[in-house]
Amino acid sequence: MEDPRRNVPRTDDVLADPRLVQAAARIGTGLVKRSVVATLALCREGLVAPSEVANHAVANLPSTATSLRPVINATGVVVHTNLGRAPLSSAAVEALVVAAGATDVELSLQTGRRERRGRDTLAALAAAVPAAGGVHVVNNGAAALGLVTLALAAGREVVVPRGEMVEIGDGFRIPELLESVGARLVEVGTTNRVRLADYAAAITERTAFVLKVHPSNFVVAGFTSSVAVRDLAGLPVPVVVDIGSGLLRAHPRLPHEPDATTALRDGATLVTASGDKLLGGPQAGLLLGDEALVDRLRRHPFARAVRVDKLTLAALEATLTGPPSPVAVSLAATQPELMVRAEKIAASLAEVTDAHAIPSAGAVGGGGAPGVELPSAAVSLPAELAEPLRLGAPPVVGHVKDGRLRLDLLAVFPDDDEAMTAAVRRVLESPCT
Ligand SMILES: *Cc1c(COP(=O)(O)O)cnc(C)c1O
């Protein structure tokens, strides 16, 4: 019998398949070629028939030119850093698409002249935080704090409590960030306690500002004290408050999470925050507060190095003016309504696996409200499903607790319930499980 491997087609002949030609125009020749080369290797091993090479290569093409894949976040963590923090609202996604081409980001179409970059985004932010005299947007929260420190405290001192020396993640630390732009830190208080008198005693003519950092990813409980913004505002130096989470106003479900409006009303000179945590928008850093100071930061030479692009401006504006963001929707979800969804999914899976709905506790995530449990509901499944679900299409990421896989619904878009259920079914039907 003839060895089928001798009929392995030539790469160019496969690439000439009209479906692959079309795909190359859409996602690029490199990715299409990669799929063809991988398929031909399987063909040489006798795992794909020569007549099936083109079909197999087409079936294994990536759907877009990004290798990032959409994931269903069933972890119960609303702002999950490893899953890209805040998912954008559909209004923000549409805004991204519009802004992707040539757009009037710095041009007045009325006059034909140059316009202030991102004017409408800044206006939307100012409208959302009336307590801020000035507003500016940079690349992320760390850039906002870095710019403030560089502009106000290079070669000078920043007073910061020991209990607020936060490591934000991936090995990056706020105190090192401040020092990296030339500020000298003056640490006050102890790990668990600091008093107004500690700050007052540390202030000299070299002090640029006192910094209050929200411990957004840990809790110190017990014999603790910190000084409220209201009290710091009486000190004879500016007060910069890094709230981190980006809550613009107090949120009823997160009573201990600092927000920009309250900090400014209480006398903060400047507030810095992230755009992609509780605000629910794109990665961005917000600078809010004293108008003259914000203007100075905006005009600082380094401001150019942390400038946001048109995509960020578009998505941020849509987040501020559009319908509630997915993060806001998750925060508003009640346990009974999540339980109804969990029961529906569990009932539809019960015939194929051991599935049931259970109450669970979600969390905001590294982006804020440490220690706060958000009452939620989950579908409890056999733990062995965790890996195949993570490797499935779409990938579903849950978490294993007490020997069971939990698919928590707090951060799952209601529109994704069906896709998630179908993903579980597919895993159960696949011969490998
Ligand atoms: C998250 C966070 C930051 C860093 O913000 P990025 O947007 O990640 O750069 C800084 N400070 C606090 C308190 C934070 O929670």
DSSP annotation string for 162-178: GGG--EEETTEEHHHHH
Measured in angstroms, how far is the CA atom of residue 414 from the centroid of ligand 1? 29
Residue nearest to atom 14 of ligand 1 (CA): 244
Class of residue 200 by CB neighbours under 10 A (exposed 0-12, middle 13-18, buried 19+): middle
Q: How far apart are CA 20 and CA 58, in angstroms?
A: 7
Same domain? 107 vs 184: yes
pLDDT band at residue 2 using 50, 70 and 90 as cut-offs: low
Band (pLDDT 50/70/90 cuts) for residue 170 is: confident
Q: Which two tokens stand for residue 219?
A: 């809790």
Determine the distance separating the centroid of ligand 1 and the alpha carbon of 244, expressed in angstroms: 5
Instruction: Please work out whether the CB of residue 213 comes within 6 Å of at least one atom of ligand 1.
Output: yes
Cβ(244) – ligand 1 distance below 6 Å: yes
Would you say the CB of residue 407 lies under 6 angstroms from ligand 1? Answer: no
Lowest mean pLDDT of 204-213, 214-223, 293-302, name the range.
214-223
CATH of residue 391's domain is 3.90.1150.180
Ligand 1 close to Cβ of residue 274 (< 6 A)? yes
What per-residue confidence (pLDDT) applies to 367?
72
Are 73 and 38 a contacting pair, CB within 8 Å?
A: no
Confirm whether 12 is domain-assigned: no
In the numeric block, which tokens belong to residue 383?
A: 């733990």
Question: Cα(364) to centroid of ligand 1, in Å?
Answer: 14
pLDDT at residue 49 tops 90: yes
pLDDT, residue 216, reads 86
Q: How many whole angstroms separate alpha carbon 390 and alpha carbon 401? A: 16
* pTM for this predicted structure: 0.94
Of 122-126, 164-168, 194-198, the poorest mean pLDDT is in 164-168
- Is 137 touching ligand 1 by the criterion CB < 6 Å? no
Q: What is the pLDDT of residue 320?
A: 98
Whether 13 maps to a domain, the answer reads no
In a domain, 354, yes or no: yes
Residue 399's domain spans which residues?
72-82+329-429
CATH number for the domain spanning 306: value is: 3.40.640.10
The reply to whether 310 and 227 lie within a common domain is yes
* 43 and 146 fall within a common domain: no
Query: Residue 14 falls within a domain, yes or no?
Result: no
Q: What would the pLDDT profile of 142-165 be if each residue is shown by its tens digit?
A: 999 999 999 999 999 999 999 999
Give the mutation target among 160, 217, 242 for probing the ligand 1 site: most ligand atoms within 8 A of CB. Answer: 242
Number of domains within the chain: 3
**Residue identifier of the C-alpha nearest atom 12 of ligand 1:** 244
Q: Do residues 334 and 318 both lie within one domain?
A: no
Judgement on whether residues 103 and 218 belong to the same structural domain of the protein: yes
Distances in Å between the Cα of 189 and the Cα atoms of 186, 192, 217, 232, 255 are 10, 8, 20, 14, 25
Within this chain, do residues 340 and 316 fall inside the same structural domain, yes or no? no
Contact in structure between 326 and 89 (CB atoms under 8 Å):
yes
Residue 382, domain member (yes or no):
yes
Q: For ligand 1, is residue 214 a contact (CB within 6 Å)?
A: yes
Residues 6+ apart with CB under 8 A from 129: 135, 248, 260, 261, 264, 288
From 275, 302, 323, give the residue that closes a domain: 323
Q: 124 and 250: one domain?
A: yes
Q: Which residue's CA is the nearest one to ligand 1's atom 13?
A: 244
140 in contact with ligand 1, CB cutoff 6 A: yes
Within this chain, do residues 51 and 150 fall inside the same structural domain, yes or no?
no
| pLDDT, the chain, mean | 95
